[in-house]
Amino acid sequence: MDTKHDTHRRPRRQTGFSLIEAMVLVAVTAVVATAALPSLVAFIDGRRLDAAATALAADIQFVRTEAVARNQPIRISFHADGANTCWVVHTGAAAQCSCGDAAPAVCSGGAVEIKTVVLGAADRVSVRANVASIAFDPLHGTSTPTGTLRLIDTGGRAVHHIVNVMGRVRSCTPAGVSGWRAC
């Protein structure tokens, strides 16, 4: 039998995707990605808020410890400048240090900047405080004045750090941010 002229050949099985199948796959992928994007952005913003809130809580404790260790008053000051907000750990009076677009802070009159944290628009988190500055006493670690420090993300979720007169911090969230107790 001559196989070259066999008319009863089985058709070859086609492999791969047709153009229509590929277009359907791309369309379904685009719909799923579009649906998942807002939750991904909210998740990332939540992690940024959590990281900034954790850093601020640690810096408040750092200021208290540093005041006792250096045996001099140390303060943490809060500033808002356009799209940026920041906090500065420094010596001297509250008005002697400020921050601009980037760290380090600018200090005058003998004040010394110890640490600066700037939160820009790209961070999608800002810090707001009901006091301009909190000073920590080197003898007892107490704070003057007391204050509420708020870290707020672009979605409106917030973590509050309430600093009492003993220099202790109580942290909570009014918006149910994961990992923080409710206010």
**CATH number for 114:** 3.55.40.10
Number of structural domains, the chain? 1
- Give 86's DSSP letter: E
Indicate if the pLDDT at residue 30 is higher than 80: no
Give a yes or no: residue 179 inside a domain. no
- Is residue 103 situated within a structural domain? yes
Residue 168 has pLDDT above 70, yes or no: yes
Whether residue 2 lies inside any domain: the answer is no
Parent domain of 96: 19-172
- Would you say residue 177 lies in a domain? no
Q: For residue range 98-120, what is the model confidence (pLDDT) as tens digits?
A: 986 666 788 999 999 999 999 98
Rounded to the nearest 10°, the torsion over CA 51, 58, 132, 124 is -10
pLDDT in tens, 93-102: 999 999 866 6
Assess whether pLDDT exceeds 70 at residue 1. Answer: no
Q: What is the pLDDT of residues 135-150, one digit of tens each?
A: 999 999 999 999 999 9
Residue 4 confidence (pLDDT): 58
The rounded mean pLDDT for the chain is: 88
Is 165 a member of any domain? Answer: yes
Q: What pLDDT shows up at residue 28?
A: 84
Which strand ranges, in their side-by-side order, compose the sheet holding 133-136?
A: 113-119, 84-90, 74-81, 133-136, 143-144
